[in-house]
Amino acid sequence: MATIIEPESDFSALPDLPPEVYTAPLKRPPHLGEDWLEPKQTEYSVDEDAIWDDLFARQMEVLPGRAATAFLQGLEKLDLAHGGVPEFGKMSEDLGALTGWSVVPVPMLIPDHVFFWHLANRRFPAGNFIRTRETFDYIQEPDVFHDVFGHVPMLTDPVYADYMQEYGRAGWKAMRHNRLKALGALYWYTVEFGLLMEEGALRAYGAGILSGPTEIVFALEAKSPNRIMLNVDRVMRTDYVIDDLQPTYFVIESFEDLYHQTVERDFDRLYRSLSPAFTYANSAIIDVDDVLHRGTQEYLQRGGRGSGAAPV
Protein backbone atom coordinates (compact mmCIF):
# COMPACT_ATOMS: atom_id res chain seq x y z
CA MET A 1 0.00 0.00 0.00
CA ALA A 2 2.93 2.38 0.45
CA THR A 3 2.88 3.01 -3.30
CA ILE A 4 -0.54 4.67 -3.02
CA ILE A 5 -0.26 6.74 0.17
CA GLU A 6 2.57 8.13 2.19
CA PRO A 7 3.59 5.29 4.55
CA GLU A 8 3.32 7.48 7.65
CA SER A 9 -0.24 8.65 6.93
CA ASP A 10 -2.89 7.11 9.18
CA PHE A 11 -5.61 9.73 8.47
CA SER A 12 -6.82 9.74 12.08
CA ALA A 13 -6.72 13.54 11.86
CA LEU A 14 -7.29 15.69 8.78
CA PRO A 15 -3.79 15.99 7.28
CA ASP A 16 -2.36 19.40 6.49
CA LEU A 17 -2.82 20.38 2.87
CA PRO A 18 0.58 21.23 1.36
CA PRO A 19 0.65 24.86 0.13
CA GLU A 20 1.60 23.83 -3.39
CA VAL A 21 -1.52 21.65 -3.72
CA TYR A 22 -4.46 23.34 -5.42
CA THR A 23 -8.08 22.41 -4.67
CA ALA A 24 -11.29 24.10 -5.78
CA PRO A 25 -11.99 27.14 -3.58
CA LEU A 26 -15.22 26.37 -1.73
CA LYS A 27 -16.49 28.73 0.94
CA ARG A 28 -17.13 26.86 4.17
CA PRO A 29 -20.37 27.81 5.94
CA PRO A 30 -19.52 29.55 9.23
CA HIS A 31 -21.27 26.97 11.42
CA LEU A 32 -19.09 24.09 10.16
CA GLY A 33 -15.70 22.90 11.32
CA GLU A 34 -12.81 21.84 9.10
CA ASP A 35 -14.47 18.44 8.62
CA TRP A 36 -17.44 20.16 6.92
CA LEU A 37 -19.90 17.94 8.82
CA GLU A 38 -23.34 19.22 9.75
CA PRO A 39 -24.09 19.02 13.50
CA LYS A 40 -27.05 16.76 12.74
CA GLN A 41 -29.11 15.37 9.90
CA THR A 42 -31.93 17.51 8.53
CA GLU A 43 -35.39 16.83 9.94
CA TYR A 44 -37.27 16.23 6.73
CA SER A 45 -40.85 17.35 6.22
CA VAL A 46 -43.73 15.08 5.24
CA ASP A 47 -43.50 16.42 1.69
CA GLU A 48 -39.76 15.74 1.53
CA ASP A 49 -40.23 12.20 2.81
CA ALA A 50 -42.85 11.75 0.08
CA ILE A 51 -40.33 12.87 -2.55
CA TRP A 52 -37.92 10.20 -1.30
CA ASP A 53 -40.66 7.56 -1.41
CA ASP A 54 -41.66 8.51 -4.96
CA LEU A 55 -38.06 8.50 -6.16
CA PHE A 56 -37.50 5.13 -4.48
CA ALA A 57 -40.62 3.61 -6.05
CA ARG A 58 -39.69 4.87 -9.50
CA GLN A 59 -36.22 3.35 -9.33
CA MET A 60 -37.51 0.01 -8.08
CA GLU A 61 -39.60 -0.27 -11.23
CA VAL A 62 -36.45 -0.34 -13.39
CA LEU A 63 -33.67 -1.77 -11.20
CA PRO A 64 -34.58 -5.48 -10.91
CA GLY A 65 -32.64 -7.37 -13.57
CA ARG A 66 -30.42 -4.33 -14.17
CA ALA A 67 -28.80 -3.47 -10.83
CA ALA A 68 -25.89 -5.44 -9.40
CA THR A 69 -26.89 -8.12 -6.91
CA ALA A 70 -24.71 -6.48 -4.24
CA PHE A 71 -26.71 -3.28 -4.59
CA LEU A 72 -30.11 -4.96 -4.31
CA GLN A 73 -28.92 -6.97 -1.33
CA GLY A 74 -27.60 -3.77 0.23
CA LEU A 75 -31.02 -2.14 -0.03
CA GLU A 76 -32.47 -5.03 1.95
CA LYS A 77 -29.67 -5.19 4.52
CA LEU A 78 -30.12 -1.49 5.32
CA ASP A 79 -33.94 -1.60 5.13
CA LEU A 80 -34.02 1.42 2.85
CA ALA A 81 -37.55 0.60 1.70
CA HIS A 82 -39.16 1.32 5.07
CA GLY A 83 -40.40 4.76 3.97
CA GLY A 84 -39.08 8.32 4.14
CA VAL A 85 -35.52 9.59 4.09
CA PRO A 86 -33.42 7.09 6.09
CA GLU A 87 -32.11 8.14 9.48
CA PHE A 88 -28.32 8.36 9.24
CA GLY A 89 -27.69 7.13 12.77
CA LYS A 90 -29.64 3.89 12.33
CA MET A 91 -28.24 3.37 8.85
CA SER A 92 -24.68 3.90 10.11
CA GLU A 93 -25.25 1.42 12.93
CA ASP A 94 -26.35 -1.25 10.44
CA LEU A 95 -23.64 -0.40 7.94
CA GLY A 96 -20.99 -0.32 10.63
CA ALA A 97 -21.86 -3.84 11.71
CA LEU A 98 -21.48 -5.04 8.12
CA THR A 99 -18.36 -3.26 6.82
CA GLY A 100 -17.35 -0.61 9.35
CA TRP A 101 -18.68 2.34 7.35
CA SER A 102 -20.92 5.20 8.46
CA VAL A 103 -22.91 7.92 6.69
CA VAL A 104 -22.34 11.55 7.71
CA PRO A 105 -24.31 14.68 6.71
CA VAL A 106 -22.72 17.50 4.69
CA PRO A 107 -24.46 20.63 3.37
CA MET A 108 -23.15 20.55 -0.19
CA LEU A 109 -20.22 19.38 -2.27
CA ILE A 110 -17.17 19.52 -0.02
CA PRO A 111 -13.47 20.12 -0.80
CA ASP A 112 -11.61 17.23 -2.37
CA HIS A 113 -9.13 16.79 0.47
CA VAL A 114 -11.92 16.65 3.07
CA PHE A 115 -13.91 14.18 0.97
CA PHE A 116 -10.86 11.93 0.61
CA TRP A 117 -10.20 12.11 4.35
CA HIS A 118 -13.73 10.98 5.21
CA LEU A 119 -13.53 8.07 2.75
CA ALA A 120 -10.15 7.07 4.17
CA ASN A 121 -11.88 6.78 7.56
CA ARG A 122 -14.82 4.80 6.13
CA ARG A 123 -17.23 7.71 6.41
CA PHE A 124 -19.44 8.48 3.42
CA PRO A 125 -20.47 12.17 3.18
CA ALA A 126 -24.11 12.47 2.08
CA GLY A 127 -25.94 15.62 1.04
CA ASN A 128 -28.17 16.89 3.83
CA PHE A 129 -30.95 18.03 1.50
CA ILE A 130 -33.36 16.49 -1.00
CA ARG A 131 -34.40 17.71 -4.42
CA THR A 132 -37.73 19.44 -5.00
CA ARG A 133 -40.64 18.38 -7.19
CA GLU A 134 -39.36 20.89 -9.74
CA THR A 135 -35.97 19.12 -9.90
CA PHE A 136 -37.42 15.64 -9.42
CA ASP A 137 -36.07 14.21 -12.68
CA TYR A 138 -32.60 15.75 -12.65
CA ILE A 139 -30.40 17.58 -10.16
CA GLN A 140 -26.73 18.28 -10.87
CA GLU A 141 -25.53 18.60 -7.26
CA PRO A 142 -25.89 15.26 -5.44
CA ASP A 143 -28.69 15.22 -2.87
CA VAL A 144 -29.55 12.72 -0.14
CA PHE A 145 -31.35 10.46 -2.60
CA HIS A 146 -28.41 10.18 -4.96
CA ASP A 147 -25.93 9.78 -2.14
CA VAL A 148 -27.84 7.38 0.11
CA PHE A 149 -29.89 5.39 -2.39
CA GLY A 150 -27.22 5.39 -5.10
CA HIS A 151 -24.01 4.95 -3.10
CA VAL A 152 -24.63 3.55 0.35
CA PRO A 153 -26.07 0.08 -0.48
CA MET A 154 -22.85 -0.74 -2.33
CA LEU A 155 -20.89 -0.08 0.87
CA THR A 156 -22.41 -3.26 2.34
CA ASP A 157 -20.18 -5.27 -0.01
CA PRO A 158 -16.86 -5.89 1.81
CA VAL A 159 -14.58 -5.73 -1.23
CA TYR A 160 -16.24 -2.64 -2.66
CA ALA A 161 -16.18 -1.02 0.78
CA ASP A 162 -12.41 -1.59 0.96
CA TYR A 163 -11.99 -0.13 -2.53
CA MET A 164 -13.78 3.04 -1.48
CA GLN A 165 -11.55 3.47 1.56
CA GLU A 166 -8.42 3.01 -0.52
CA TYR A 167 -9.74 5.50 -3.08
CA GLY A 168 -9.91 8.08 -0.31
CA ARG A 169 -6.35 7.32 0.75
CA ALA A 170 -5.20 7.50 -2.88
CA GLY A 171 -6.74 10.95 -3.26
CA TRP A 172 -4.03 12.55 -1.15
CA LYS A 173 -1.32 11.10 -3.36
CA ALA A 174 -3.16 12.36 -6.47
CA MET A 175 -3.15 15.87 -5.03
CA ARG A 176 0.59 15.72 -4.37
CA HIS A 177 1.15 14.71 -7.99
CA ASN A 178 -1.39 17.28 -9.28
CA ARG A 179 -3.40 14.51 -10.92
CA LEU A 180 -6.83 14.99 -9.36
CA LYS A 181 -8.48 15.09 -12.79
CA ALA A 182 -7.17 11.61 -13.55
CA LEU A 183 -8.32 10.19 -10.22
CA GLY A 184 -11.65 11.94 -10.72
CA ALA A 185 -12.09 10.09 -14.01
CA LEU A 186 -11.53 6.79 -12.19
CA TYR A 187 -14.23 7.70 -9.66
CA TRP A 188 -16.58 8.80 -12.42
CA TYR A 189 -16.26 5.66 -14.50
CA THR A 190 -16.41 3.25 -11.55
CA VAL A 191 -18.17 4.63 -8.45
CA GLU A 192 -20.61 6.82 -10.39
CA PHE A 193 -21.08 5.09 -13.74
CA GLY A 194 -19.55 1.63 -13.46
CA LEU A 195 -20.95 -1.56 -14.97
CA LEU A 196 -20.30 -5.11 -13.78
CA MET A 197 -20.31 -8.42 -15.64
CA GLU A 198 -22.39 -10.70 -13.43
CA GLU A 199 -23.08 -14.30 -14.48
CA GLY A 200 -22.67 -13.38 -18.13
CA ALA A 201 -24.93 -10.32 -18.04
CA LEU A 202 -24.21 -6.64 -17.58
CA ARG A 203 -25.41 -5.03 -14.37
CA ALA A 204 -25.00 -1.52 -12.97
CA TYR A 205 -23.20 -0.68 -9.73
CA GLY A 206 -22.46 3.03 -10.26
CA ALA A 207 -24.58 5.45 -8.23
CA GLY A 208 -25.18 7.83 -11.13
CA ILE A 209 -26.79 4.98 -13.04
CA LEU A 210 -28.67 3.42 -10.13
CA SER A 211 -30.32 6.66 -9.02
CA GLY A 212 -31.74 7.65 -12.41
CA PRO A 213 -34.44 5.83 -14.43
CA THR A 214 -33.22 6.95 -17.85
CA GLU A 215 -29.51 6.30 -17.37
CA ILE A 216 -29.84 2.70 -16.22
CA VAL A 217 -31.77 1.67 -19.32
CA PHE A 218 -29.44 3.69 -21.55
CA ALA A 219 -26.27 2.32 -19.95
CA LEU A 220 -27.28 -1.31 -20.29
CA GLU A 221 -29.53 -1.48 -23.34
CA ALA A 222 -29.08 1.51 -25.67
CA LYS A 223 -27.14 1.24 -28.92
CA SER A 224 -25.44 4.64 -28.59
CA PRO A 225 -22.82 4.16 -25.83
CA ASN A 226 -19.60 2.16 -25.93
CA ARG A 227 -19.19 -0.57 -23.33
CA ILE A 228 -15.54 -1.38 -22.71
CA MET A 229 -13.77 -3.58 -20.16
CA LEU A 230 -12.07 -1.50 -17.49
CA ASN A 231 -8.40 -0.66 -17.94
CA VAL A 232 -7.28 1.76 -15.24
CA ASP A 233 -4.49 3.39 -17.28
CA ARG A 234 -6.94 4.08 -20.09
CA VAL A 235 -9.78 5.27 -17.86
CA MET A 236 -7.60 7.80 -16.04
CA ARG A 237 -6.73 9.36 -19.41
CA THR A 238 -10.37 9.66 -20.52
CA ASP A 239 -12.54 12.78 -20.39
CA TYR A 240 -16.09 12.56 -19.05
CA VAL A 241 -19.36 14.48 -19.19
CA ILE A 242 -21.09 15.53 -15.95
CA ASP A 243 -24.45 16.80 -17.22
CA ASP A 244 -25.64 14.20 -19.71
CA LEU A 245 -25.79 10.48 -20.43
CA GLN A 246 -22.36 8.91 -20.83
CA PRO A 247 -20.95 8.13 -24.31
CA THR A 248 -18.87 5.30 -22.79
CA TYR A 249 -19.26 2.91 -19.85
CA PHE A 250 -16.46 0.76 -18.43
CA VAL A 251 -17.13 -2.78 -17.22
CA ILE A 252 -15.44 -4.74 -14.43
CA GLU A 253 -15.38 -8.53 -14.10
CA SER A 254 -15.93 -8.38 -10.34
CA PHE A 255 -15.28 -6.11 -7.38
CA GLU A 256 -12.13 -8.13 -6.75
CA ASP A 257 -11.07 -7.19 -10.29
CA LEU A 258 -11.69 -3.52 -9.51
CA TYR A 259 -9.70 -3.77 -6.29
CA HIS A 260 -6.76 -5.55 -7.92
CA GLN A 261 -6.59 -3.09 -10.84
CA THR A 262 -6.49 -0.06 -8.56
CA VAL A 263 -5.30 -0.71 -5.02
CA GLU A 264 -2.58 -3.12 -6.12
CA ARG A 265 -1.09 -0.68 -8.64
CA ASP A 266 2.03 1.47 -8.43
CA PHE A 267 0.17 4.77 -8.63
CA ASP A 268 3.38 6.79 -8.24
CA ARG A 269 4.57 5.46 -11.58
CA LEU A 270 1.12 5.86 -13.14
CA TYR A 271 0.78 9.49 -12.02
CA ARG A 272 4.21 10.31 -13.44
CA SER A 273 3.15 8.90 -16.81
CA LEU A 274 -0.08 10.92 -17.02
CA SER A 275 -0.31 14.30 -18.71
CA PRO A 276 -2.23 17.10 -16.94
CA ALA A 277 -4.92 17.04 -19.65
CA PHE A 278 -7.03 14.09 -20.74
CA THR A 279 -5.74 12.10 -23.71
CA TYR A 280 -8.96 10.51 -24.96
CA ALA A 281 -12.38 11.89 -25.76
CA ASN A 282 -15.28 10.38 -23.82
CA SER A 283 -16.61 8.67 -26.95
CA ALA A 284 -13.29 7.32 -28.23
CA ILE A 285 -12.39 3.68 -28.82
CA ILE A 286 -8.65 2.97 -28.96
CA ASP A 287 -6.55 0.02 -30.10
CA VAL A 288 -5.98 -1.47 -26.64
CA ASP A 289 -9.68 -1.50 -25.70
CA ASP A 290 -11.48 -4.76 -24.97
CA VAL A 291 -14.77 -3.68 -26.52
CA LEU A 292 -18.00 -5.40 -25.53
CA HIS A 293 -20.18 -3.06 -27.59
CA ARG A 294 -19.08 -0.41 -30.07
CA GLY A 295 -21.69 2.29 -29.70
CA THR A 296 -23.30 4.15 -32.57
CA GLN A 297 -22.96 7.44 -30.60
CA GLU A 298 -26.25 8.51 -32.17
CA TYR A 299 -27.43 10.21 -28.98
CA LEU A 300 -24.20 12.22 -28.67
CA GLN A 301 -24.10 13.13 -32.35
CA ARG A 302 -27.67 14.46 -32.23
CA GLY A 303 -26.70 16.84 -29.45
CA GLY A 304 -27.61 14.94 -26.30
CA ARG A 305 -29.91 16.26 -23.59
CA GLY A 306 -29.90 19.86 -24.77
CA SER A 307 -31.24 18.90 -28.20
CA GLY A 308 -34.06 16.72 -26.93
CA ALA A 309 -32.50 13.70 -28.65
CA ALA A 310 -33.98 10.35 -27.68
CA PRO A 311 -31.64 8.25 -25.48
CA VAL A 312 -31.32 5.35 -27.92
Mean pLDDT of 238-247: 96
> What is the count of structural domains for the chain?
1
Tell me the helices (H) and strands (E) count for the chain, helix number first: 13, 7
The span from the CA of 119 to the CA of 101, in Å, is 9
- Tell me the residue type at 216: I
Per-residue model confidence (pLDDT) at position 146: 97
Domain membership flag for residue 148: yes
What pLDDT digit, counting tens, does each position of 87-106 carry?
999 999 999 999 999 999 99
For the chain, strand residue ranges (E) read: 102-106, 123-127, 195-198, 201-204, 226-229, 248-252, 291-293
Domain membership flag for residue 33: no
**Of 137, 117, 119, residue with least CA distance to 55:** 137
Mean pLDDT of 197-212: 97
Per-residue model confidence (pLDDT) at position 189: 98
Residue 146 marked in a binding site? yes
What is the pLDDT confidence band of residue 21, given thresholds at 50, 70 and 90? confident
Per-residue model confidence (pLDDT) at position 139: 86
Residue 234 belongs to a domain with what CATH number?
A: 1.10.800.10
What is the pLDDT confidence band of residue 1, given thresholds at 50, 70 and 90? very low
Domain membership flag for residue 267: yes
Domain membership flag for residue 39: no
The full DSSP string for 240-298 is --SSS--SEEEEES-HHHHHHHHTTS-HHHHHHH--SS-SB-TT---TT--EEE----H
**Of 102, 121, 106, residue with least CA distance to 12:** 121
The span from the CA of 243 to the CA of 260, in Å, is 30
Domain membership flag for residue 9: no
What is the pLDDT confidence band of residue 4, given thresholds at 50, 70 and 90? very low
- Is 0.85 topped by the overall pTM? yes
Q: Find out whether 133 and 58 touch, Cβ atoms under 8 Å.
A: no
Domain membership flag for residue 284: yes
- Tell me the residue type at 63: L
Backbone angles phi, psi at 186, to 5 degrees: -60, -45
Domain membership flag for residue 35: no
β-pair type (226-229, 291-293): antiparallel
What pLDDT digit, counting tens, does each position of 135-175 carry?
998 888 899 999 999 999 999 999 999 999 999 998 888 88
DSSP, collapsed to helix, strand or coil, labels residue 102 as strand
Per-residue model confidence (pLDDT) at position 153: 99
Q: Find out whether 226 and 249 touch, Cβ atoms under 8 Å.
A: yes
The proportion of the chain whose per-residue pLDDT surpasses 70, expressed as a percent, equals 97
> What is the Rg, in whole angstroms, of the alpha carbon atoms belonging to the chain?
19
The boundaries of the domain holding residue 270 are 46-307
Give 211 or 178, the one with higher predicted confidence. Answer: 211
The span from the CA of 14 to the CA of 111, in Å, is 12
What is the pLDDT confidence band of residue 275, given thresholds at 50, 70 and 90? confident
Domain membership flag for residue 40: no
Q: How high is the mean pLDDT of the chain?
A: 93
Question: Which residues contact residue 131 at a Cβ distance below 8 angstroms, ignoring those fewer than 6 apart?
Answer: 51, 139, 143, 145
pLDDT at 9 over 90: no
Residue 151 marked in a binding site? yes
